[in-house]
A = this chain, B = another copy of it.
Amino acid sequence: MDAGASKSAERPIAVFDSGLGGLTVVRQLLERMPTEDVVYLGDSARVPYGIKSARTVRDFALQDAAFLLRFDPKLLVVACNTASAVALDAICRICPVPVIGVVQPAAVRAVQLAQGRTIGVIGTEATIISGAYQRAIRALDGSCRVLAAAAPLLVPIVEEGRSQDDPIVLHVLSDYLHDLQRARPAVLILGCTHYPLLSDAIAKLMGPEALLLDPGQAAAERIQAHLCDSGLLSARSSGTLRCFSTDNPERFARVARRFAGREVGEVAWVGTDELAACLPMVGGRGAQEI
């Protein structure tokens, strides 16, 4: 490995999400690559993205990406399924570093696991309406049957902190999963960063035949392979996690544990006006999706 690559390898991995949910992706990253530095931005002041138009999500996601580019990352991870579904091309166009979303890695893994059988997807309204998962899966396996369902209440239910055996959680899940249960998919993609926190309850309702797929895990595996292939894995003994939130950083730090599976330490506040101000400074050289 030459000196340039070594220096490059010690740059952080940048990750953003509409709020706390993307910390489930960070959790997957750090379990596999504990020596990596991660810079995380949660846009909690404008959360959720999943009920908003593609145009608005794109505007916000570009600002999030522009802010993170300040940290000279070696890779930008779009942890938010909604932003991955509607804004990835736009982000790639402004980013001078490789970009990875969660939709494409999950689609690849789902097709591998399903082997021609039905694939189910649950996600936010914006993710499902965009058709991004459906398109990505069909591009890999044109004959695959894909059944997608929007599940708008699951994000606020997780944010409220309800446990997986709460009767309301089970009632709402039964409602959303009704058609999917009957379709008996081989794989069910948990197409929102919040849903892994409900995976036990979802597994119980879907039965043992349906494999639950966390896009954060699929993305983390792809990132590890990419960094390994490019000689960009950090050689540090341990990495750090640095978090920014556009809303109340104390609340963010308090609730983050449930999503990240660890303490996240001090969280810094950054205003949405500061994010917006970063955008015109981005070179717009264009990058590849990995």
Contacts and interface: CB of A to CB of B under 8 A. Distances in A.
Contacts of A155: 156
A247 B156 contact: no
Nearest to A53: B248
A229 interface: no
Interface string A42-68: 001111000111011001100000000
Contact of A167 (B45, B171, B251, B272): B171
A65 to B, nearest CB: 16
Contacts of A247: 52-53, 56
A2 B46 CA distance: 46
A73 to B, nearest CB: 25
Number of this chain's copies in the assembly equals 2
Contacts of A46: 45-46
Interface residues of A, number: 31
A248 B153 contact: no
A156 B172 CA distance: 13
A52 B44 contact: yes
A171 B153 CA distance: 14
Contacts of A56: 45, 246-248
A276 interface: yes
A209 interface: no
Contacts of A60: 45
Contact of A153 (B52, B53, B153, B175): B153
Pick the most buried of A46, A55, A60, A155: most chain B CB atoms within 10 A of its CB: A46
A13 to B, nearest CB: 27
A200 interface: no
B51 A45 contact: no
A169 to B, nearest CB: 11
A160 B152 contact: yes
A159 interface: yes
A6 to B, nearest CB: 40
Contact of A156 (B153, B248, B271): B153
Contacts of A276: 273, 276
Contact of A168 (B55, B172, B246): B172
A30 interface: no
A157 interface: yes
Please list the 3 inter-chain residue pairs (A to B) with the smallest Cβ-Cβ separation, ordered nearest first.
A53-B248, A156-B156, A45-B56
28 contacts: A44-B52, A45-B46, A45-B52, A45-B56, A45-B60, A46-B46, A47-B51, A51-B159, A53-B248, A53-B251, A56-B246, A56-B247, A56-B248, A59-B271, A152-B156, A152-B159, A153-B153, A153-B157, A153-B160, A155-B156, A156-B156, A168-B168, A168-B171, A168-B172, A168-B175, A272-B272, A273-B276, A276-B276
Given A45-B56, A52-B247, A168-B171, 13 more contacts: A56-B246, A152-B156, A152-B159, A152-B160, A153-B156, A153-B157, A153-B160, A156-B156, A167-B171, A168-B172, A168-B175, A272-B272, A276-B276
